[in-house]
Amino acid sequence: MKILFHEAGRTFHLYNDSISYIMTIMKNGHLGQLYFGKRIQDREDFSYFLETCERPMTACIYEDDGAFSLEHLRQEYPVFGSTDYRQPAVEVRQENGSRISDFQYQSHEITEGKPVLEGLPATYAENGQEAETLTVTLADPVTKVQVQLLYTIFAQGGIIARSARFCHMGGQPVYLTRAMSLCMDLPDHDYVWQQLSGCWARECRIRTRSLEPGIQSVGSMRGNSSHEHNPFLVLKRRSTDERQGEAVGFSLIYSGNFRMQAEVDAHDTLRVLAGIDPETFEWKLESGEVFQTPEAVMVYTDQGLNHLSQTFHKLYQRRLARGYWRDRVRPILNNNWEATYFDFTEDRLIEIAAKAKECGVELFVLDDGWFGARSSDTAGLGDWKANTDRLPNGITGLAEKIEALGMKFGLWFEPEMVNKDSDLYRQHPDWILSTPQRGQSQGRHQHVLDFSRKEVVDAIYAQMAEILNNAKVSYIKWDMNRSISECYSTAWPADRQGEIYHRYILGVYSLYERLTAEFPEILFESCASGGGRFDPGMLYYAPQGWVSDNSDAVERLKIQYGTSMCYPVSSMGTHVSVTPNHQVFRCTPLHTRANVAYFGTFGYELDLNKLEPDELWAVREQIAFMKKYREVLQYGTFYRLQSPFEGNEAAWMVVSADQKTALVGWYRILNCVNARYTRLRLQGLNPSYCYKNSISGSCHYGDELMYAGLITSDATAGQVPSEAEGYTDFESRIYVLEVAQP
């Protein structure tokens, strides 16, 4: 890994074994983009990459150079209002109403490692050998605003992490009306765009389309990153698939309003922008003030989508997630939400926990309903004190009882919200986000606390810390069940109202930071009605997240498959729940529910007392299985093999780091009669290792399994089976492949 600056061509070359990223200082002082892709050899002068030609009807910067128009140049951080008519990365409004800026090169610095982004989640390097950072400082001569563009290249993988840091060195205040984290101008538009979109209980559907002239975008204006669109985007070549081909992934480490877009211009060049949604953002910079954008991560691969995802998985697992739980296998939990909803007593919880313990569960999680006047979703949020009618011994007493059973205890919070029917709201009605003289829309009967105010965050911290200091809590599920509306804070002046969405998220991050620092061994699981805020920003604080409120195994196949495009298995909260399923009312076999949930953190969302003896027996076996293989499942290399979006069967697999163990999950949605033969061509195995198949008992070399395939046909191929069991709808199998003779 290296970052070089060549004086001759005024070019920067960032490279490692996988990629090269090359830029130049153009004649107007702006940064021009020259190349991002597979590693190429270094040379003194790459400036020939900066193609210019004189085009008719073009506005140009210089009288004597008809070829130098920003409209036709690929740039690193394009401005609004000069000769570029595409969407800019940055826009600054002065007090006189001007919106033009002109950021020119001042200096640059190359440093080992990676700087921390203050107050924001970001990837990190543990030492100077893991990464190197280039900081290029540009300044606008009129406003005297400086922007530092940060580029980190990691030693391993095709990864570039980027962000921008503004510092106002002038006198008059200015307003940032757009400050994107990344602009990537690519020389052609011959890509297929792939996004992860959906809605509540139907998150992360993989959607693709060809890029066309104009702007295509995804984003959120809801205050949370959203169920609707994940802050993740892939551009892949038409011929690229899971196993081969070029692709670039863009991921924004942010949990609030965002935008990711691609603009194809008239000459088929492509501009990608990623950052805070400009529509809902404005930031006032007084003299001397600083604004740091969130970080965006770009990954390039020429080895297909699985490789792209694996690069993100590894980075986010090891150098975004932090702390005690980062590298540890996750406890198998039993959550009471779908078992009881709000209808529980201490005795009932102990009953559920005791049975879970008997089966081998390690952590009991008490979900919503334990505090204040919370007997339904109309009251109580904001009052984080145990409801002693239900829990006579409080959280302290309940936690003691759970610990006495030999399990860890976990607790649900929704720190950012308040019901009007709560003591907190009665004491501080002005602590919610709401616009003067306007109605206050509710969502699930709740309102959003004004986390742009430090005193509000402090008050919630104090309540949570009181619980955590007095009870043995080992896990927190941090929920967030509505988007923001009427976003306005009475604590801030009129000219800072454009800052509130972002300040809100900074408040959320600050509370996470405080709690994770103060209680470092608590495992945090983020949640926002399932995947409403399943994003890299959250992963920095909470190494796992509840992927979806939909716990149906068939639905989960799609949700987890889509989520795996960017996020590692260890980050996905996955539970076995009852049938008929509570979201889609489908009945799937117990083993299929577990076979899907194994590819995640794994747990149960039901009352095990209600299962039949044979089911309980199966649960015990599932838990023992998960304990045996969770290290590989959660930290192995994950491959998507067959997409549930494309057919009746789906499959994925993980392989251990030493390639001696692999687990293949195979799923068939509907049964077929007289079916074709089926095979799965596996990936990631050692071609010369011989693997024993746990289902057939036969041994096969890695090359057979990868190139010829694992045979998955069953007795329904060609005949009606004599025993129906195992040959029904929603069938699935886990093939464990273990090296017989390395």
Contact call for residues 339 and 356 (beta carbons, < 8 A) = no
Q: Work out which of 84, 362, 367, 421 binds ligand DGJ, going by CB under 6 A.
A: 367
Strands 145-154 and 637-642: unpaired
The span from the CA of 114 to the CA of 116, in Å, is 7
Nearer to ligand DGJ, 84 or 479 (CB): 479
Q: Is 337 in the site for ligand DGJ (CB under 6 A)?
A: yes
Question: Which helix (H) or strand (E) element contains residue 661?
Answer: strand 661-668
Q: How far is the CB of 395 from ligand DGJ (least distance, A)?
A: 16
Q: How far is the CB of 227 from ligand DGJ (least distance, A)?
A: 11
Q: How far is the CB of 444 from ligand DGJ (least distance, A)?
A: 8
Nearer to ligand DGJ, 76 or 555 (CB): 555
Q: Work out which of 130, 368, 421, 649 binds ligand DGJ, going by CB under 6 A.
A: 368
Nearer to ligand DGJ, 77 or 413 (CB): 413
Q: Is 546 in the site for ligand DGJ (CB under 6 A)?
A: yes
Nearer to ligand DGJ, 194 or 422 (CB): 422
Q: How far is the CB of 555 from ligand DGJ (least distance, A)?
A: 14
At a CB cut-off of 8 Å and minimum separation 6, what does 686 contact?
A: 659, 702, 739
Q: Is 527 in the site for ligand DGJ (CB under 6 A)?
A: yes
Q: Is 549 in the site for ligand DGJ (CB under 6 A)?
A: yes
* Ramachandran angles phi, psi of 72, nearest 5°: -115, 15
Work out whether the CA dihedral 714, 716, 722, 727 comes out positive or negative: positive
Nearer to ligand DGJ, 310 or 583 (CB): 583
* Ramachandran angles phi, psi of 447, nearest 5°: -125, 160
Nearer to ligand DGJ, 377 or 714 (CB): 377
Q: Binding segment for ligand DGJ among 14-22, 448-456, 523-531, 715-723 (CB under 6 A)?
A: 523-531
Nearer to ligand DGJ, 342 or 519 (CB): 342
Q: Is 281 in the site for ligand DGJ (CB under 6 A)?
A: no
Q: How far is the CB of 533 from ligand DGJ (least distance, A)?
A: 11
Q: How far is the CB of 608 from ligand DGJ (least distance, A)?
A: 18
Q: How far is the CB of 419 from ligand DGJ (least distance, A)?
A: 12
Q: Is 525 in the site for ligand DGJ (CB under 6 A)?
A: no
- Tokens 């295509």 found at: 216
Q: How far is the CB of 530 from ligand DGJ (least distance, A)?
A: 5
The closest alpha carbon to 60, from 50, 70, 51, 52, belongs to 70
Nearer to ligand DGJ, 226 or 529 (CB): 529
Q: Is 362 in the site for ligand DGJ (CB under 6 A)?
A: no
The span from the CA of 569 to the CA of 635, in Å, is 7
Q: Among residues 302, 383, 421, 549, which one is catalytic?
A: 549
Q: Work out which of 198, 530, 545, 600 binds ligand DGJ, going by CB under 6 A.
A: 530
The span from the CA of 473 to the CA of 395, in Å, is 9
The span from the CA of 343 to the CA of 242, in Å, is 46
* Strand ranges of the sheet holding 31-38, from the earlier edge strand across to the other edge: 2-6, 11-15, 19-25, 31-38
Q: Between residue 484 and residue 513, which ones bind ligand DGJ under the rule CB under 6 A?
A: none
CA distance from start to end of the chain: 33
Tokens read off for 318: 């090891």
Q: 703 an active-site residue?
A: no
* Ramachandran angles phi, psi of 257, nearest 5°: -60, 130
Nearer to ligand DGJ, 529 or 622 (CB): 529
Q: How far is the CB of 445 from ligand DGJ (least distance, A)?
A: 11
Q: Binding segment for ligand DGJ among 18-26, 296-304, 522-530, 537-545 (CB under 6 A)?
A: 522-530
Q: Is 203 in the site for ligand DGJ (CB under 6 A)?
A: no
Q: How many residues bind ligand DGJ (CB under 6 A)?
A: 11
Nearer to ligand DGJ, 194 or 544 (CB): 544
The span from the CA of 437 to the CA of 435, in Å, is 6
Nearer to ligand DGJ, 269 or 560 (CB): 560
The closest alpha carbon to 632, from 603, 665, 606, belongs to 665
Q: How far is the CB of 200 from ligand DGJ (least distance, A)?
A: 9
Q: How far is the CB of 441 from ligand DGJ (least distance, A)?
A: 19
The span from the CA of 71 to the CA of 84, in Å, is 4
- Tokens 């690193």 found at: 76
Nearer to ligand DGJ, 148 or 481 (CB): 481
Q: How far is the CB of 424 from ligand DGJ (least distance, A)?
A: 17
Q: Between residue 662 and residue 691, which ones bind ligand DGJ under the rule CB under 6 A?
A: none
Q: Which amino acid is at 17?
A: D
Q: Binding segment for ligand DGJ among 103-111, 468-476, 512-520, 526-534 (CB under 6 A)?
A: 526-534
Q: Binding segment for ligand DGJ among 27-35, 100-108, 280-288, 525-533 (CB under 6 A)?
A: 525-533
Residue 519 DSSP one-character state: S
Strands 104-112 and 523-526: unpaired
- Tokens 């939909």 found at: 550
Report the alpha-carbon angle 735-737-740, nearest 5. Answer: 145
- Tokens 């922008």 found at: 273
Q: Is 603 in the site for ligand DGJ (CB under 6 A)?
A: no
Nearer to ligand DGJ, 275 or 600 (CB): 600
Report the alpha-carbon angle 311-313-316, nearest 5. Answer: 105
Q: How far is the CB of 335 from ligand DGJ (least distance, A)?
A: 7
Strands 363-366 and 333-335: parallel
Tokens read off for 471: 């009870």
Q: Binding segment for ligand DGJ among 31-39, 288-296, 355-363, 524-532 (CB under 6 A)?
A: 524-532
* Ramachandran angles phi, psi of 121, nearest 5°: -70, 145
Contact flags string 458-487 toward ligand DGJ, x per CB under 6 A? ---------------------x-x------
For the chain, the residue count is 742
Q: Is 416 in the site for ligand DGJ (CB under 6 A)?
A: no
Tokens read off for 496: 């800072």
Q: 3-class DSSP state for residue 623?
A: helix
Report the residue number whose CB is nearest to ligand DGJ.
368
In sequence order, what are the beta bridge partners of 150?
135, 163
The span from the CA of 91 to the CA of 461, in Å, is 36
Q: Is 529 in the site for ligand DGJ (CB under 6 A)?
A: yes
Tokens read off for 457: 């965050």
Q: Binding segment for ligand DGJ among 26-34, 310-318, 350-358, 527-535 (CB under 6 A)?
A: 527-535
Q: Among residues 368, 479, 552, 607, which one is catalytic?
A: 479
Helical spans, DSSP H, in 471-563: 500-518, 536-541, 553-563
Contact call for residues 89 and 262 (beta carbons, < 8 A) = no
The span from the CA of 436 to the CA of 17, in Å, is 56
The span from the CA of 490 to the CA of 731, in Å, is 56
Contact call for residues 592 and 586 (beta carbons, < 8 A) = no
Q: 549 an active-site residue?
A: yes
Residues forming the site for ligand DGJ (CB under 6 A): 337, 367-368, 412, 479, 481, 527, 529-530, 546, 549
Give the residue numbers marked as catalytic.
479, 549
